Amino acid sequence: ALNDEPAVLQSTEYNKYGESETNNTFTDLAKDISASGEVLEIEKDYKFNNADIRKPIGIVKDNFVINGNNHILDGNGQVSMFVVLGKNITINNLKFVNGYSDGYGGAIIAEKGSLTLNNVTFINNGAKLFGGAMTIVGNAIVNISNCNFIDGYSDRGSALYLETGTLNVEYSNFTSKYFSHWGSISTNEMDVTVLSIDNCIFDNVFSKYSPAVFAQVCYVTINNTKFYNLKANESVGAVGIRAPKQVIIENCLFANTTSTKNAGAVFVDVEGEGTEPITEPIEITIRNSTFNNISSGFGGAFVQLTGNLTLKDSSFTNCFAVYAGGAAYLSDVIAEITNCKFNSNKVVSQPDYQTSGGALYFDYGILNLTDSEFNNNGASMASAILIYDAEYHLDNITFNNNNNPVYTYFDDFDSTIGRIYGNDTISEDDLNNTYYLSMIPGEGMKLNLTTNNIDLSILPTRFDLREIGWLTPVRDQGSMGSCWAFGGIAAFESALLKNTGISYDISENNMQDSMLIFSRYGSGNVESANEMIAAGYLLSWIGAFPQVYDIYDEVGKLSPAIHTNQTIHLQDFVLIDCGNVSIPGNPALKKAILKYGALAVLFGADQSPEGYNDTTGAFYNLNGTPNHAVALVGWDDNYSKENFATTPEGDGAWIIKNSWGAQYGDGGYMYISYYDGTLCADDKLTDQAVAYVFENTLPYNKNYQYDFTGINEFMMYDETSELYGTPITNVNNFVSAEDDLIAAVGTYFNQSGMDYTVKIAVNGAVVYTQNGVSPYRGYHTIKLNKYIPIKKGDKFSIYVTSLALGVSIPVRMHYEEGVSLTNIDDGSWKDLYQEYGQVACIKAYTLKDDTAIAGNKNITVDYGGGKYFSVKVTTADGHIVVGASVKFKINGQSTTVRTDNNGIAKIKITHLPKTYSMTTTYNGKTYKNTVTVKHVIKASKVTVKKTAKKFTLKATLKINGKLVKGKIITFKFNGKTYKVKTNAKGIAQKALNKNVIKKLKKGKTYIVKVSYFKDNIKTTVKVR
């Protein structure tokens, strides 16, 4: 059993060595080595002085042994001690202190052959670049036993750096008081190496990444080793492994190790950059190992990305994560987990962030979990295991005190759950759940745009954005293949600086991690990507926000989905049509730099001696493949062709901002020949220059979408089709999350001057149509002339019709049927995702509903005059709102009306003459007015003599100020009814003869009822 008590190493002896004096120099040591036979017995200490030659002593003998007899070699902080060139060299019982190299190997450089170290101690040795104590190159084989590595320092490998060859370390100890970038042991990222560690102790090491071991492209075996009290500022608390050939970790103890971002103890990234094909499965094995009190952001103790995993006979106790996977986080992995114990692990509760997988978070792979225990684990969801988008088989598992032990999403059909024991119950409701993301909420940071324009009429022979201050500082992508994120962010920041005058430092890390296959809404990429994916991230509103919220991490690949009050929303970008790329100094690119700022571009970064001049920082690659993203920031027509490693046809170069740090080129800026054959060299979307546009500052609060990773291609009829030139319609269907206003629609156009039609339907009814012409090639947010209100739960559809429509090919996202449709080919609607594996690149943007009623006035109308009571619905800034529901109530009756294309809602007044109260209700507010309905008929009183021969009943009909002809007026008089049409003067008159008068009584007044439809008035007939 492993002992939990660490063997604490101290460097107190170094102080004695540093203060001791010796007259024996390295010149003396070199002579002693040269003069010795097969064995050198060192009988005194040696110290470098300024009279010595400032280079390590070469050991060129074969089968040579140095017995140090516990003596000291002191480099005096100026020189490395040995470069081993011979075969079968052995060094025993020697101390190396204060060695230093400006390059690599602070104490020893093992350059060839084989080297064995027994009972050797290294104290306070350092190298500027690689291997604080020792660097192994030239396929050397190094065996280290019972050695101590104390207080080493270097950028890579504060103790040991394995460039090429084989390194076997056993029964040795590693500690350092110095902060380093990489681990105590580090390997090269280019060449295959072999690393074996057995019965070692790593204790009290603090670094940016992976304090104990960081191995790349390597066969790694770690046995019987203890890792104590290690801390990484970023990712990997102890052992980091990238693009390995094989990994075995057995009978190891990890205790009190921590990192901030990914993996508190062990991190394995099987595919790394993903540029090399994997022909056989990469096997990762962890057996009989213990993980105690370990923490990180994702995967408290362990993270593995891709590959095969065997995790057996191991335990995880008191581990915790900030976001997901309290003990372990596995993504895109085929995992066999057997006989393991997960006890008291947790994911810390976060405000506004749902933490999950208290012990294990398993994503996008195949999980076979058997004969294991989960006790007392915790998270806000899935206290023990969260499984997302995977096939799983659980059998003979014990769950105790885990609250909701298992929660799964999008289960593979073959998933099974067998025997389950313990006091927890797995609910059917917690299995095979769904998560259909269709909207990113939150207003972006308000941008105050300035006017910074440059005259485009004449292109200068030289232009450099550095000279006008439209560039942010050069950054360093480090070991991660994230140039696409750095190139995109560099252009994005330049456009922001041009348009706002403010320099932003945007998180490349969140873009990188969010768009990889390990993210729920990522692409299929494991590391490298392209500028369309970068633009897709920015358009999706998943970002962008300042670096401080998600600082750059060149190892980890898991980031939280967060929104900040400093998130900047992108609404538009332009794809630069480079035209004929064979034209030196393409004017299309020059004009775009002047107009928009830096451009994100892709080119073939050939770093061979023929392709790159390291002195001038100049690239020339005539026929290569584009493989590196940068920001294009200027040009120089007169840049000499002699500055390139291979001389191009003529002078002239583009100026680029690279992401390799300021130590390369001209402070991080470099040059690409005008005659380079790889810059924007293809019509493919991924090879086009991207310019970001900031001109739309409306405070959109929701982005409804399905194309989170950006555009993959344009859907259109090609020239061989009978339907060539026929418009296509795509539609995306959404459900409203809240009451808002649809204010804009975003989509891609494959060229400028393209006619398009946007239609919006709410709950199945088309409520608005807008036509337009595309302003450029790229993505454009189309501001609607009139806004469309939607209520929570409304189903709304965005139709876009044009000759070419952008589509995205999702990898990780899931979609319900019918959310994205097309009518391509035969005009019938087809499900884009179900039939083509695509979704339409159509976004809908909403604004907070600040609309109100206007124009609600008291009115007076004539009865039957066909008049309306009307109101207008507008936003606070005066935009008309179409389709808004307005409720009118008059005379006890309520009617709901939608606003028309002019934002008008109206109700026809058909009521009887009198004054009414009109109540108008909209958006929870009530407005009160009066509606007065006037009589439209008039009749004069009549006086008739009893002796008269006749008299006339007379009425006038006047509506809306006009006398009305041909309408029926009804007179009711003395029990009789008379119907009379109005004449041209609007008068209806009925002459009554003597027979009628006879029936009247003298001195009596009779009532005459006069009516026009339901407009009733009274007059009188008085008999004298």
pLDDT over 90 (residue 279) = no
pLDDT over 90 (residue 873) = yes
CA distance 590 to 406: 57
pLDDT over 90 (residue 453) = no
pLDDT over 80 (residue 10) = no
**CATH code for the domain defined by 699-848:** 2.60.120
Average pLDDT of the segment spanning 335-346:
99
Tell me what pLDDT residue 5 has. 38
Average pLDDT of the segment spanning 115-138:
97
Q: Which CATH superfamily is 852-934 part of?
A: Immunoglobulins (2.60.40.10)
**Band of pLDDT at residue 3, cut at 50, 70 and 90:** very low
Question: Cβ(688)–Cβ(535) under 8 Å?
Answer: no
Please give, one letter per residue, the 3-state secondary structure of 182-211: CCCEEECCCCCEEEEEECCEEEEEEECCCC
**Band of pLDDT at residue 458, cut at 50, 70 and 90:** confident
Q: Which residue has the tokens 């999702």?
A: 810
Which are the contacts of 458, defined by CB distance < 8 A and separation ≥ 6?
none
Q: What tens digit of pLDDT does each residue of 890-944 get?
A: 999 999 999 999 999 999 999 999 999 999 999 999 999 999 999 999 999 999 9
Average pLDDT of the segment spanning 601-628:
94
Tell me what pLDDT residue 278 has. 78
Which are the contacts of 429, defined by CB distance < 8 A and separation ≥ 6?
none
Q: What tens digit of pLDDT does each residue of 346-380 get?
A: 998 888 788 899 999 999 999 999 999 999 999 99
The region, left, alpha or beta by phi > 0 then psi within -120 to 50, assigned to residue 560 is beta
Question: Cβ(484)–Cβ(534) under 8 Å?
Answer: yes
Average pLDDT of the segment spanning 382-400:
98
CA distance 442 to 542: 10
- Residue 358 CA: distances (Å) to CA of 180, 345, 393, 423, 693: 31, 6, 19, 17, 43
Tell me what pLDDT residue 582 has. 58
Which tops the pLDDT comparison, 455 or 622? 622
The stretches of 241-397 forming alpha helices (DSSP H) are: none
Question: Cβ(489)–Cβ(497) under 8 Å?
Answer: no
Domain ranges (residues) in the chain:
42-188, 469-691, 699-848, 852-934, 938-1023
Question: Cβ(369)–Cβ(397) under 8 Å?
Answer: yes
Mean pLDDT of the chain, nearest integer: 94
**Band of pLDDT at residue 112, cut at 50, 70 and 90:** confident
DSSP string, 318-362: S-EEEEE-SSEEEES-EEEEES-EEES-EE--BTTB--B-SSEEE
| Nearest in space to 849 (alpha carbons), one of 889, 877, 830 | 877
Tell me what pLDDT residue 2 has. 40
- Considering only the top CATH level, what class is 938-1023? mainly beta
Q: What tens digit of pLDDT does each residue of 175-204 get?
A: 999 999 999 999 998 889 999 999 999 999
Q: What percent of the chain has pLDDT over 70?
A: 98
pTM above threshold 0.95:
no
Q: What tens digit of pLDDT does each residue of 545-591 get?
A: 999 999 999 999 999 999 899 999 999 999 997 755 557 889 999 99
Residue 165's Cβ-side half-sphere holds a number of Cα atoms within 13 Å equal to 23
Average pLDDT of the segment spanning 688-707:
97
- Residue 123 CA: distances (Å) to CA of 14, 148, 156, 184, 383: 6, 8, 17, 13, 46
Q: How many residues does the chain have?
A: 1024
**Band of pLDDT at residue 6, cut at 50, 70 and 90:** very low
Q: What percent of the chain has pLDDT over 90?
A: 90
Q: Which residue has the tokens 């790349």?
A: 216
Q: What tens digit of pLDDT does each residue of 647-687 get?
A: 999 999 999 999 999 999 999 999 999 999 999 887 788 88
Q: Which one-letter DSSP state was computed for residue 491?
A: H
Tokens of 171: 């029964």
Q: What tens digit of pLDDT does each residue of 504-528 get?
A: 999 999 999 999 999 999 999 999 9
3-state secondary structure of 791: coil
pLDDT over 50 (residue 161) = yes
pLDDT over 80 (residue 51) = no
Question: Cβ(301)–Cβ(294) under 8 Å?
Answer: yes
Spell out a b/e string for 346-382, using b for 16 or more CB atoms within 10 Å of the CB, else e.
Answer: bbbeeeeeebbbbbbbbbbbbbbbbebbbbbbbbbbb
| Nearest in space to 731 (alpha carbons), one of 807, 803, 837 | 807
Tell me what pLDDT residue 456 has. 73
Q: What tens digit of pLDDT does each residue of 218-246 get?
A: 999 999 999 999 999 999 999 999 999 99
CA distance 840 to 707: 7
Tell me what pLDDT residue 451 has. 85
Question: Cβ(881)–Cβ(899) under 8 Å?
Answer: yes
- Considering only the top CATH level, what class is 469-691? alpha beta
pLDDT over 60 (residue 743) = yes
Tell me what pLDDT residue 379 has. 96
Q: 938-1023: same fold as 699-848?
A: no
Which are the contacts of 36, defined by CB distance < 8 A and separation ≥ 6?
none
β-bridge mates for residue 599, sequence order = 632
Tell me what pLDDT residue 280 has. 84
3-state secondary structure of 312: strand
Tokens of 161: 């750096």
Tell me what pLDDT residue 580 has. 56
Tell me what pLDDT residue 351 has. 80
Tell me what pLDDT residue 967 has. 96
Q: Is 516 exposed, middle or buried (0-12, 13-18, 19+ CB in 10 A)?
A: buried
